[in-house]
């Protein structure tokens, strides 16, 4: 439902802005999948805590991916039942995520397992 590159350093001063279909902050970016059935909401009313939600355009129990960012950490929630597809990879202090596993190939290493929760390099 979304793809992103998230640098922990960019969370220190969140200044997210919409730019060409994605939200950017420093070198970090978040982009929803290009589907007309998805909507992306960004809530920065409690800055420096920023909450990004990508969800289906439905009334009841819409599937979603929610990312909550604060200085020093990022937490992900995937789906009402934990089923929204989202693959994660960490490389060089950056968290990469995508609904499309092929997009993460440059960041994956077969020699070691990926781990996440919460993101702290």
pLDDT in tens, 74-93: 888 887 766 677 888 888 88
- pLDDT value at residue 30: 93
- Which two tokens mark 73? 């950490």
100 in any annotated domain:
yes
- Which two tokens mark 90? 């960490």
- pLDDT value at residue 27: 94
20 in any annotated domain:
yes
| Strands, sheet with 73-78, edge to edge from the N-terminal-most edge strand | 38-46, 49-56, 64-70, 73-78
74 in any annotated domain:
yes
- Number of domains within the chain: 1
116 in any annotated domain:
no
- Taking phi first (over 0 means left), then psi (-120 to 50 degrees means alpha), and beta for anything else, what does residue 20 get? left
120 in any annotated domain:
no
84 in any annotated domain:
yes
Residue 11: domain span:
2-107
pLDDT in tens, 26-64: 999 999 887 777 788 888 888 889 999 888 877 777 788
121 in any annotated domain:
no
DSSP string, 68-96: EEETTEEEEEE-TTS-S--EEEEETTEEE
């Amino acid at each position: 439902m979304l793809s992103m590159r998230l640098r922990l350093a960019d969370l220190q001063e969140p200044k997210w802005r919409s730019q060409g279909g994605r939200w950017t902050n420093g070198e970090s970016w978040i982009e929803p999948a290009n589907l007309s059935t998805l909507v992306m909401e960004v809530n920065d009313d409690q800055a420096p805590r920023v909450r990004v939600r990508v969800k289906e355009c439905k009334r009841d129990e819409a599937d979603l991916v929610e990312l909550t960012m604060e200085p020093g950490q990022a937490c992900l929630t995937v789906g009402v039942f934990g089923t929204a597809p989202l693959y994660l990879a960490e490389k060089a202090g950056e968290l990469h995520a995508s609904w499309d596993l092929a997009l993460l190939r440059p960041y994956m290493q077969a020699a070691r397992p990926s781990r996440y929760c919460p993101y702290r390099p």
